[in-house]
C-alpha cells in the first residue's frame, strides 16, 4: 500500500511539475505579449496626441482639444490625459474613475497610474521654411497596468484549475490501474513473509488463476517454494550429519591442541636442556684446571711439610714450593673467576627461562649474557655474533621470554643459514625510538626461499624435516612477540644474501590479566 501511494504521489508531482513549468512559460509569454501591446498602445497614443494637439492648442480651440482627448480615452488602459498650455497651465483633460466613467479635469490633481509626459511642438505649414518649431505646451498621459495584471491573474487561475483537474483524473486512474498490479504483489509479499517466518510445511501455495505476467510470477513463486521445501528437507539431513561430524571434530581438535601444546612445551624444555648441557661442557674446563692446580699445590705442600718435619728442608725447596704455590694460586683464581662468571650468566638465563618474572633490566648487558650462554653451541662453528646496542636502553619486560626469542632466532640462523663449515656473521642491532625498541637479527647466510618466507612463522614449517627440525622455533618467537611483548616481528630475505628479522617492542611491555597475576606472584616470592 505504501508503494502504491508513493507511486501515485510521484506521478502527481511529475505531472504537476510539468504543467507548472508549462504554465510558467505560458505566463511569461503572455506577460511579454501584454507588455508589448501596452508599449505599442502608449507609443500610438502619444504619437497621435503629439500630432493632433499642437495645432488645436495653438489656436486655443478647447472644443477640438476636448474631442481629441475624448477620442484617445476610449482604451481602458488610459486613466487620464492632461493637456497643458505653455502660458496658462492646465488647458483641458479627462480622467477615468474607479467605475470606468470619464470626467473632465478642471483642476490639476494627483492621479494614479504611470504618467508619461511629452512636449507639444507646433510647426506652421504656412510659414517660410526657415521658421523654427514652437513648443506650445505639453501632454501628460497616465496609463494603468491593472488590465495586464488582471489578465495574468486570470491565466494563473485557469492553469491552477487545469493542474488540479488533471491531478484528480491521474489519481483516480492510478488508483484503479495500480490496484490490479499491487493486489497479486501483496499476495506474493504475504507468501514470502510466511515462508520466511513460518515453517515451509505450513505455507500454502498461491492460487494460479491469472494468465498474465503476474500469473507467471506467482507460478514461479510456487515452483521456488516447492524447490525450497526439497532443499530444506535435504539441509536438515545434512545438518544432522554435520552436527555429528562437528562433535567428532571437536574431540579431534582438543586432542590436536593438547598435542601442539605438548610439542611447544617440549621445544622450550629442549632449549633449556641444551643450555644446561652447554653450561656443563663450558664450565668443565676451568673447573678441571682449578682442580689440577689444587692437586699440584696439595702435593707440594705435603712434600715441604715432610721436609720441615724431618729437618731436611733447604732454601731451594722453599723457593720451589713458593713458585709452585704462586702459580697454582694464580691458575685457581683465574679459572675460578672464569667459572663463576659463566655460572652467573648461565644462572640468570636459566632462571629467566624457567620463570616468567617481569623486571627492569639493561638491554645490552642482557643480550651479551644470552649470547654468552650460546657460545658452547656457536664456538663449534665458524659463525661470529656481533652486538650493536647502546648502553643506556632500559627494558621493562620479561627477560626469560626475550632470552627465548634471541636463542631461537640465533640458533635458527646457525642451523639454517649456514653450512657446517661455512663462515658467517650474525648481527644483533638495537635502536631506541622514544617508547619503542627496534631490534634486528641479521645474518649473511643462504637466505629464505620466496615460497617459504610467508610461512616461516607458521607452526611445523621447517626445511630440516627428518633432521631434527620441528618447525616450532619461529612460531614460538612469533607468539612471544605478539602475545607477551605486545610487539611485531617481520622478516625480509634475499636468496644468497641472508635474512633479517625485524622486531619492534614497546619499552614498557603492556600487562595482560594473566601476566599481572604471574608477575605479582613472582614479586611476592622474591620479597
pLDDT tens-digit map of 453-489:
888 888 766 765 545 455 677 888 898 898 889 999 9
pLDDT tens-digit map of 131-174:
678 888 889 998 887 878 888 888 888 888 888 888 888 778 77
Long-range contacts of 85-91 (CB under 8 A, 24+ apart): 85/57, 85/60, 85/136, 85/137, 86/135, 86/136, 86/137, 86/138, 91/57, 91/62, 91/65, 91/137
The whole-number average pLDDT for the span 5-31 is: 80
Contact 73, 96 (CB under 8 A): yes
Residue 212 has what pLDDT?
64
Distance between CA atoms of residues 506 and 24, nearest Å = 72
On the question of pLDDT at 503 being above 90, the answer is: yes
Best CA proximity match to 462, nearest among 274, 263, 261, 255? 263
DSSP code, position 508: B
End-to-end CA distance of the chain: 78
DSSP code, position 483: I
Scanning 73-145, the segments in alpha helix (DSSP H) are none
CA neighbours closer than 13 Å in the CB half-sphere of residue 2: 1
The whole-number average pLDDT for the span 363-391 is: 89
pLDDT tens-digit map of 443-453:
999 999 888 88
| β-strand pairing of 134-143 with 102-104 | unpaired
Residue 127 has what pLDDT?
55
Amino acid at each position: 500500500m505504501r508503494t502504491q501511494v508513493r507511486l501515485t504521489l510521484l506521478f502527481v508531482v511529475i505531472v504537476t511539475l510539468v504543467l507548472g513549468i508549462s504554465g510558467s512559460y505560458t505566463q511569461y509569454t503572455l506577460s511579454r505579449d501584454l507588455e508589448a501591446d501596452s508599449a505599442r498602445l502608449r507609443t500610438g497614443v502619444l504619437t497621435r496626441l503629439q500630432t493632433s494637439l499642437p495645432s488645436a492648442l495653438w489656436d486655443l480651440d478647447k472644443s477640438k482639444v476636448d474631442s481629441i482627448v475624448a477620442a484617445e480615452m476610449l482604451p481602458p488602459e488610459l486613466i487620464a490625459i492632461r493637456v497643458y498650455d505653455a502660458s496658462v497651465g492646465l488647458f483641458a483633460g479627462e480622467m477615468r474613475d474607479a467605475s470606468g466613467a470619464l470626467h473632465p479635469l478642471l483642476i490639476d490633481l494627483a492621479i494614479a497610474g504611470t504618467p508619461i509626459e511629452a512636449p507639444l511642438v507646433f510647426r506652421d505649414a504656412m510659414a517660410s521654411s526657415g521658421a523654427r518649431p514652437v513648443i506650445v505646451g505639453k501632454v501628460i498621459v497616465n496609463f494603468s497596468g491593472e488590465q495586464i495584471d488582471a489578465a495574468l491573474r486570470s491565466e494563473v487561475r485557469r492553469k491552477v484549475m487545469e493542474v488540479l483537474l488533471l491531478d484528480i483524473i491521474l489519481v483516480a486512474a492510478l488508483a484503479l490501474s495500480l490496484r490490479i498490479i499491487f493486489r497479486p504483489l501483496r499476495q506474493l509479499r504475504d507468501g514470502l513473509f510466511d515462508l520466511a517466518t513460518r515453517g515451509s510445511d505450513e505455507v500454502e501455495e498461491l492460487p494460479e488463476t491469472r494468465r498474465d505476467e503476474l500469473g507467471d510470477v506467482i507460478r514461479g513463486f510456487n515452483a521456488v517454494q516447492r524447490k525450497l521445501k526439497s532443499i530444506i528437507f535435504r539441509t536438515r539431513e545434512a545438518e544432522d550429519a554435520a552436527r555429528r561430524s562437528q562433535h567428532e571434530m571437536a574431540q579431534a581438535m582438543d586432542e590436536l591442541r593438547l598435542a601442539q601444546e605438548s610439542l611447544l612445551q617440549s621445544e622450550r624444555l629442549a632449549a633449556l636442556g641444551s643450555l644446561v648441557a652447554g653450561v656443563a661442557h663450558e664450565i668443565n674446563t676451568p673447573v678441571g684446571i682449578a682442580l689440577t692446580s689444587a692437586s699440584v699445590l696439595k702435593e707440594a705442600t705435603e712434600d715441604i711439610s715432610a721436609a720441615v718435619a724431618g729437618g731436611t728442608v733447604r732454601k731451594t725447596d722453599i723457593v720451589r714450593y713458593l713458585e709452585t704455590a704462586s702459580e697454582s694460586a694464580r691458575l685457581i683464581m683465574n679459572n675460578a673467576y672464569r667459572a663463576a662468571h659463566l655460572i652467573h650468566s648461565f644462572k640468570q638465563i636459566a632462571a629467566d627461562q624457567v620463570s616468567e618474572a617481569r623486571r627492569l633490566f639493561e638491554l645490552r648487558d642482557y643480550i651479551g649474557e644470552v649470547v654468552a650462554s650460546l657460545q658452547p653451541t656457536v664456538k663449534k662453528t665458524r659463525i661470529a655474533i656481533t652486538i650493536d646496542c647502546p648502553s643506556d636502553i632500559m627494558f621493562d619486560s620479561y627477560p626469560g621470554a626475550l632470552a627465548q626469542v634471541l636463542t631461537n632466532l640465533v640458533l635458527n640462523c646457525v642451523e639454517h643459514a649456514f653450512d657446517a663449515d661455512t663462515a658467517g656473521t650474525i648481527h644483533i642491532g638495537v635502536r631506541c625510538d622514544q617508547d619503542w625498541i627496534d631490534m634486528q637479527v641479521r645474518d649473511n647466510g643462504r637466505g629464505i626461499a620466496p615460497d617459504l618466507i610467508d610461512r616461516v612463522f607458521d607452526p611445523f614449517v621447517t626445511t630440516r624435516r627428518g633432521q631434527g627440525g620441528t618447525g616450532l622455533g619461529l612460531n614460538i618467537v612469533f607468539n612471544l612477540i605478539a602475545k607477551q611483548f605486545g610487539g611485531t616481528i617481520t622478516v625480509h630475505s634475499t636468496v644468497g644474501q641472508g635474512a633479517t628479522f625485524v622486531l619492534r617492542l614497546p619499552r614498557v611491555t603492556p600487562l595482560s590479566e594473566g601476566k599481572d597475576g604471574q608477575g605479582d606472584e613472582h614479586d611476592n616470592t622474591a620479597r
